Amino acid sequence: MRVMGKTYERISGRLRTFIEAQPIFFTATAPLAGSGTVNLSPKGLNGSFAVVDELTVAYLDCAGSNAETIAHLRENGRITLMWCSFQGPPTIVRIHGRGEPIFRDDPRWTDYVSYFPDLDTSSHGVRTIIVVRAEMIRDSCGYAVPLMTYEGDRELHGQRFAREDDASLNAYFEKKEFIAASLDGLPALPLPLPPLPGPAPAPAVSASPEQ
């Protein structure tokens, strides 16, 4: 029987392979106030998660009805990510670390969005890129996690937000109660949302001298 409860120094090897193979993971954040609302969110969408380096991961934060994670990270940066296997050997992996929302007008946006070549950011109303720097990486047993079969991503999210442009997406966010501010009134997503940056311009090609 495998003994679980190991601490890892980096996200590499079989650990990285396991994380990248899971179709869903969970994020947990909380405000500093003891009376504040703890948030736990499931994250899916194939192509929306990336390992940036051996201590850094990132995922696309897409359009939704709340922005608790953004608000908590802006206030204190604390975040835990969790993956668990619903098929194969029972395994749970957690990354405890510090996170930061990268907004559309951040000069780092273009660099980070390049880690997600397989997901059309304009079709999912991507609001931010959440970047997490690991401070502790641990696994544990998943003996009580049930066996379940992954059938595929739902198409509803892409269908819903593919028809939105920046103006209508802003109108959608402004109508929602907990987008600009969290459930506890913390600043969340800055509005109006800046437009999605276009592709980086191609490097200039010098003309060849005439022969």
> What is the CATH classification number for the domain harbouring 149?
2.30.110.10
Burial status of residue 140 (CB atoms within 10 A of its CB: 0-12, 13-18, 19 or more): middle
Exposure letters 157-178 (e unless 16+ CB within 10 A, then b): bbeebeebeeeebbebbeeeeb
The answer to whether the pTM exceeds 0.85 is yes
Q: Say if 187 falls within a structural domain.
A: no
Q: What is the per-residue pLDDT for 122?
A: 82
- Residues of the domain holding 145: 7-175
Q: How many CB atoms lie within 10 A of CB 31?
A: 21
In a domain, 211, yes or no: no
Tally of domains within the chain: 1
Residue 147 located in a structural domain: yes
d(C-alpha 79, C-alpha 152), whole Å: 27
The answer to whether residue 155 is domain-embedded is yes
Answer yes or no: is 31 within a domain. Answer: yes
- Residue 105 in domain: yes
Q: Is residue 201 part of a domain?
A: no
- Tens of each residue's pLDDT in the chain, 211 residues: 455 689 999 999 999 999 999 999 999 999 999 999 999 999 999 999 999 999 999 999 999 889 999 999 999 999 999 999 999 999 999 999 999 999 999 999 999 999 999 988 888 999 999 999 999 999 999 999 999 999 999 999 999 999 999 999 999 999 999 999 999 999 999 999 999 886 544 444 444 444 3
Closest CA to 57 of 84, 25, 91: 25
Structural domain contains residue 54: yes
